[in-house]
A and B are shown apart, each in its own frame.
Chain A
Amino acid sequence: MTITKDHIGGLVFLGLSVAYGYYAGQIPLLPGDEFEPFHAQTVPNALALLGSLLSVALLLSATRSPGNKLSLRGYDFPLVSKLLLLVVLFALALEWVGFLLATIFFLIGGYWLLGERRIKTLLVASVPFAVGIWFVLTQLLDIYLAPGQLFSQITGG
C-alpha cells in the first residue's frame, strides 16, 4: 500500500482533532452553563467533530497515485533548521544583550549561513543597517527598547 501525502495529512489532522476534542472537554464551565444553549465548549466540540469527519473524508478519498507520495529529497533541511535555530537564538539574544547587538548577530549569522563569507560584506551589510534601524526606532519613533538583562545585571540597574 502506498502512503500518500493525503494519508499523512489525514492521520495528522485526525490525531489533532481527537486531542483537541479531549482538551475541549477539559474547558472549565461556569456553574449552570451546561443548561445554556451556548457555552465555552460549544464551538470547540463542534470543531473537533468537524475536524475528525473531514480528516476521515480525506483519508477515504485519498488518491493512491505514486506521484502523490511525500518525497523529502532535494530539500535543504539542514540549512532551514539552522536558520530557524538562529531565529530562536535571536529571541534569546534580544533578552540578554539587547536589540542592537542581537540584530547585528542575527544578520551576520543569516548572511553567513546563506553562504556569504567576505568579512567586509558581512559587517557592511549588518552594522550600519542595525544602527540605522535602532536609531529610527529609539530616536525618531521614540520606542523604548529594553537594554539586555546582561547589561542591567552588570551595571546593577
Chain B
Amino acid sequence: MLDGIMTGLTTAVMPFNLLMVVVGCFAGTFIGMLPGLGPISAVALMIPITYGLDPSSGIILMAGVYYGAVFGGSTSSILINAPGCASTVVTSFDGYPLAQQKQAGKALALAAYSSFTGGTIGAIVLLFAAPALASVSLSFQSSDYFALMILGLTAVAAFSGKGQVIKALIMTVFGLMIATVGTDVTSGTTRFTFGSVDLIDGISFLLLAMATFALTEVVMTILKGQHKEEEEQIDMSQLGSMKLSKEEIKQVAPTIGRSSVFGFLVGILPGAGATIASFLAYGLERNLASAKEKLKFGKGSLRGLAAPESANNAASTGSFVPLLTLGIPGSGTTAIMLGALIAYGIQPGPRLFLDNPDVFWSVIISMYFGNLVLLILNLPLIPYISRLLVIPRPILIPLILFFSITGVYLVSFNTFDIHMMALITVIAIFLKLLEFPMAPMLLGFILGGLMENNLSRALTISDGSFAFLWERPLTLSIVVVAVVVLLLPPLIDLYRSKKKPSTEVRGPETAITEGEG
C-alpha cells in the first residue's frame, strides 16, 4: 500500500497534474456557481478536454471540477439563495439567512472549512477503505458483477425520492435500451441501427451525457425564462469578516466531525450521493441539537450550515469508493467519470489498483490537494470569482451551448452527432417536463454494455440456467440486498401512510428527484 501511495504521490505532484487540480477547482467553482448547472454538468463539460490528456491527469481534472462545483454551489446558495445544484439546497437553509444578517463572509468561510474537513476526512477513510474493498472484490466472478450492477441500478432508483421509484426504474431500462443500439460485441450483428452508418458504433457516451446534462440543463433555464432574471449584485463590502471566533469553532467542530463520517458512509452507498447525505446530516444535526439551538435552525444556525457542507463533500469523496473498487458509480457524476475511464480503455473495478495503480492512487492523493486548493486559493478569491456571475446571461448561455456542442463535435468530427444532440435534448426536455429523472438513464446506459457481457458469460458458464444468481453465496447476498433496496421504499411509504403523516421538516424528497450528487 505504501508503494501505491508513493506512486500516487509522484503522479499527483507532477507540475502538470497540480495545475489540473487548480484549474479543475476553479472551473468547477465557477460552473457550480451558475444556478442550474451542477457537478454533473460541470464534469460533463470537462470530458472533451480530458480526452487529450493522459488518464491520471484527466481524472484528476474531473475530480477537481467535481469538488469545485460542489463548493461553487454552496457559494451561490449562501450569497444569492440560488443553489447551483441539488446537493447544496440545504446549505441555503441556514447560509442565506446568515448572509442576510451581513455575515456572508463568516458563512462562506465556515462552508469552506466544513467542506475542507469533510473532504479530507473522506479522503483519509477512502485511503484505507478502497484498497481493502478492492482486494476483496478481486475474487468476484461474472455472476457477482452482474448482481452488483443490478444492485447499482436498483439503488439509484430506490434513492430517487418518493413516488419516483418506478419512473427512475423506467429511465434505467431506457438507458439500457439506448446502450443496445449499435454493434453487438458478442455476435457482431448490428442492432437498432435502422440502416444508418452513423449508428453502427452506437450512441457515444459523451454525446448522451452532454446532451442530457449540459445542453438540457441550459435549455431548461431558457424554457423557464430564468435567463431573464438578473443576478442580485453581490456587494463585496457587505461580506463581513471571514473570521470565526474560538467559541464558534468549538460549537461546530463536533458537528463537522460527525457529519463528515456520516456523509462518507452515505456516499459509499450506490446511488445515494451528496444530496441525500446533506439532507440526512442536516436532519441528524437538528435532532441532536438542544431545544434552544433547534429554534435557530433555518434562521442562520452555524451548526445547520456546517452539517450539510461537511456531509456533502465527504459524500462526494465516498462515492469514489464503489467507482474505484467495483467499477460501479455511486452517483450521476461518478457515472460520467466511469464513462470517461472506459473511454480511456481503463476498466474501473477491482483490477484498477493492480493494473493502473497510478490512476487509482493519484486520484486519492489529488483529493487532498483539491481540498487544500479550495481552502487556500478559492476562499480568498471568492469575491472575484463571483464577479464572473455578472457576465450577462444572453452572452453566457450561447457560450455554454457552444462548448457543449463543439466538445462532442471535436471528438468525432461528425456533424451527425450535433443533430443527434439536438434530438436527444428535445426528448430530454419532454421527459423532464414529465418529471422523469435523468441520472438513472445515464447510469443504465453506461452499465448496459458491461452488464450484457457479464450476463452473457454467466449464462454461458451455467449453460443457460439462471441458477448462477443463487448458487454462490456472494452472488446470492448481493441479489438479496438489491431486492431489499428495491422493496424498502414502497414498504416504508406504505407503513408511513398507515401511521399518519408525520410533521417532518422539508425532507430530501423535495430536491433529489434529479439524483444529482
Contact = CB atoms under 8 A, between A and B. Distances in A.
B440 to A, nearest CB: 12
Given A80-B222, A107-B398, A37 B227 contact: no
B415 A77 contact: no
Interface in A37-57: 37-40, 42-44, 47, 50-51, 54-55, 57
A75 B222 CA distance: 8
Given A40-B189, A44-B191, A54 B166 contact: yes
Contacts of A18: none
Contact of B415 (A29, A57, A94): A94
Interface string B434-468: 11100000000000000010011001100111000
A37 B429 CA distance: 39
B221 to A, nearest CB: 10
A72 B456 CA distance: 44
A27 interface: yes
Interface stretch (B169-177, B330-338, B362-370, B504-512): B169-177
A90 B405 contact: yes
B405 A44 contact: no
Interface centre among B187, B425, B455 (most CB of A within 10 A): B187
Most A CB contacts (10 A, CB to CB) among B170, B415, B418 go to B170
Contacts of A5: 433-435
Given A47-B177, A95-B415, A74 B225 contact: yes
Contacts of A43: 176, 180, 452, 455
A56 B384 CA distance: 53
A93 B423 CA distance: 18
B166 A33 contact: no
A95 B433 CA distance: 33
B456 A87 contact: no
Interface string B417-438: 0110110011001010111100
Given A38-B455, A47-B176, A88 B434 contact: no
B405 A57 contact: no
Nearest to A106: B402
Contacts of A36: 460, 464
A80 B399 contact: no
Contacts of B460: 36-38
Contact of A54 (B170, B399, B419, B425): B170
A87 B191 contact: no
Nearest to A13: B170
Interface string B44-58: 000000001000000
A92 B219 contact: no
Contacts of B176: 43, 47
Interface stretch (B73-81, B113-121, B272-280, B389-397): B389-397
Contact of A125 (B222, B395, B418, B433): B395
Contacts of B398: 106-107, 109-111, 114
Interface string B216-244: 00010011110110000000000000000
Nearest to B215: A87
Chain A residues touching B, range = 35 or more
Contacts of B169: 54
Residue picked from B395, B401, B431, most chain A C-beta under 10 Å? B395
Contact of B227 (A17, A87, A114): A114
Contacts of B173: 17, 47, 50-51, 54
Interface string A14-25: 001100100110
A52 to B, nearest CB: 10
Contacts of A61: 166
Contacts of B177: 16, 20, 44, 47, 51
Given A13-B170, A51-B177, A37 B393 contact: no
Contacts of A150: none
Contact of B394 (A9, A17, A42, A115): A115
B397 A91 contact: no
A44 B180 contact: yes
Given A9-B170, A9-B436, A83-B222, A110 B402 contact: yes
Q: Which of B163, B173, B222, B422 has the most CB of A within 10 A?
A: B173
A13 B228 CA distance: 34
B410 A111 contact: no
Contacts of A63: 163
Interface string A115-149: 11000010001000100010001000101001000
A90 B215 CA distance: 15
Contact of B223 (A9, A77, A137): A77
Contacts of A141: 52
Contacts of A17: 173
Given A8-B434, A38-B456, A38-B460, A114 B223 contact: no
B227 to A, nearest CB: 6
B223 A76 contact: yes
Given A103-B402, A114-B227, 19 more contacts: A13-B174, A20-B177, A30-B189, A37-B463, A42-B455, A43-B452, A54-B173, A55-B170, A58-B167, A70-B433, A75-B223, A75-B224, A80-B222, A87-B422, A94-B415, A110-B401, A116-B394, A125-B395, A133-B406
- The 4 A-B residue pairs whose C-beta atoms are closest, nearest first, are A110-B398, A37-B464, A114-B394, A91-B418
